[in-house]
Amino acid sequence: MDGFINLLKPPGMTSSDGVLFVRRLLPRKTPVGHGGTLDPDAAGVLPVCVGRATRLFDYIIDKKKTYIGEICFGVSTDTCDATGKPVAFSERIPDREEVEAALSGFIGDIMQVPPMFSALKRDGKKLYELARKGESIELEARRVHIHNLTYVSQTSFNKHLIRIECGKGVYIRSLMRDIGQALNLEAHMSFLLRSEAGAFSVENGYTPDELKVLPSIEEALQPMDSLLQTYPRIDVKGEFRKKILCGMPVKPQWLAGEIEKTDAPIRVYTEGEFAGMGEMRESGEIAFRAMLLGG
């Protein structure tokens, strides 16, 4: 059993708990992992890798993600979200126009300081473990990329919904904090929904309750290449199938067609079957980096 399950994680469930939940529905000893951590109090899309799809983890974690986040003005917290302790207050509440104007300063490559309450490690210890002990560490800003920010609506006098399209490593909690700081105001994230992760969206996902009542978990299983459609594809002629199963690099003359030189990962197929992911060498050969056939 191989592929991806689009789990719609509810608030209060950790990403690891989501993996454990899915594992209980699968045959024993089936490898399972998730494709990108989602905060425990956040909801939404959590791609779960099943079977040989766990070998594709590195190819799905960099995919663009879309979030709907709510920013609350007037108070900042130690966790940068609604679960934390208030640490500072501000009285002025910005209007929609101010919030919209501030968003443009956070599109593109930005430097972002992650929150102390995160799973990042320092000297082998997770930051949230240190934070719970009352320890504080000066964290370095990291370069992350925001594809787009769109104002959605005002949900109450001090809360606004924002649509965020971003790449790997972005902390939405930190983004909300920083938007507040750009307006010289205190702010935190009061709600977060991951609506899209690569090819998966809330529209084609399953809640835990929905998964439990399916006649077969295989009904929720999406093909292993479902998240990889943006990568270039090659097809190896069937007569060379045994050679690639032995791990031999794919030679240009083995292909049913041509492919332009690329630095991007390449999807490899043979006889219509997804064989794995490779990368092109200077010679034009394609070396496998994740082989899915042969066990």
CATH code, domain with 264: 2.30.130.10
- Is the residue at 173 inside a domain? yes
pLDDT above 80 (res 121): no
Residue 280 lies in a domain: yes
| Same domain flag for 164 and 206 | no
Kindly indicate the confidence band of residue 118, based on its pLDDT and cuts at 50, 70 and 90: low
Residues 94 and 58 in one domain: no
* Run of H or E including 159: strand 159-166
Active site residues: 39
**pLDDT number for residue 199:** 80
Same domain (yes/no): 101, 39:
no
Judgement on whether residues 135 and 240 belong to the same structural domain of the protein: no
pLDDT at residue number 102: 96
Residue 228 lies in a domain: no
Q: Are residues 82 and 193 in the same domain?
A: yes
112 inside domain? yes
The model's pLDDT over 66-109, given as tens digits with 9 standing for 90+, comes to: 999 999 999 999 889 998 999 999 999 999 999 999 999 999 99
User: Is it the case that residue 136 has pLDDT exceeding 80?
Assistant: no
Residue pair 54/32 in contact (Cβ under 8 Å)? The answer is yes
Cα 51 to Cα 105, 182, 231, distances in angstroms:
42, 45, 21
With 60 as the cut, is the pLDDT of residue 129 above it? no
- DSSP H or E run through 22: helix 15-24
Cα–Cα distance measured from residue 81 to residue 33, given in angstroms and rounded to the nearest whole number: 26
Q: Which residues contact 51 (CB under 8 A, 6 or more apart)?
A: 1, 2, 3, 30, 31
Last residue of a domain, one of 162, 188, 222: 222
Q: Mind listing the pLDDT tens digit for each residue in 165-197?
A: 998 889 899 999 999 999 999 999 999 999 998
Q: In this structure, are strands 86-89 and 75-77 parallel, antiparallel, or unpaired? A: antiparallel
Residue 138 pLDDT > 70 = no
Mean pLDDT for all residues in the chain: 89
CATH of the domain at 48: 3.30.2350.10
- Does residue 227 fall inside a structural domain? no
In-domain check, residue 185: yes
* Residue 67 DSSP symbol: E
| Whether residue 158 is found in the same domain as residue 81 | yes
pLDDT at 126: 61
**Is a pLDDT exceeding 80 seen at residue 116?**
no
Asked whether residue 88 falls in the same domain as residue 141, the answer is yes
Cβ(165)–Cβ(148) under 8 Å? yes
Q: How many domains does the chain have?
A: 3
CB 45 within 8 A of CB 197: yes
Has residue 221 got a pLDDT over 90?
A: yes
Instruction: Establish if 99 belongs to a structural domain.
Output: yes
Model confidence at 132: pLDDT above 90 = no
Residues 92 and 173 in one domain: yes
My answer on whether 184 and 203 are in the same domain is no
Query: Rounded to the nearest 5°, which phi and psi values hold at 59?
Result: -95, -5
Q: Is 150 a domain residue? A: yes
Please give the average per-residue pLDDT across 13-22, as a whole number: 93
State whether 78 and 192 are in the same domain: yes
Shared domain check, 159 and 73: yes
82 and 192 together in one domain: yes
Boundary (domain end) residue, out of 222, 257, 275: 222
pLDDT band at 36 (very low <50, low <70, confident <90, very high): confident
Domain housing 193: 65-197
- Euclidean distance between CA atoms 124 and 179, whole angstroms: 31
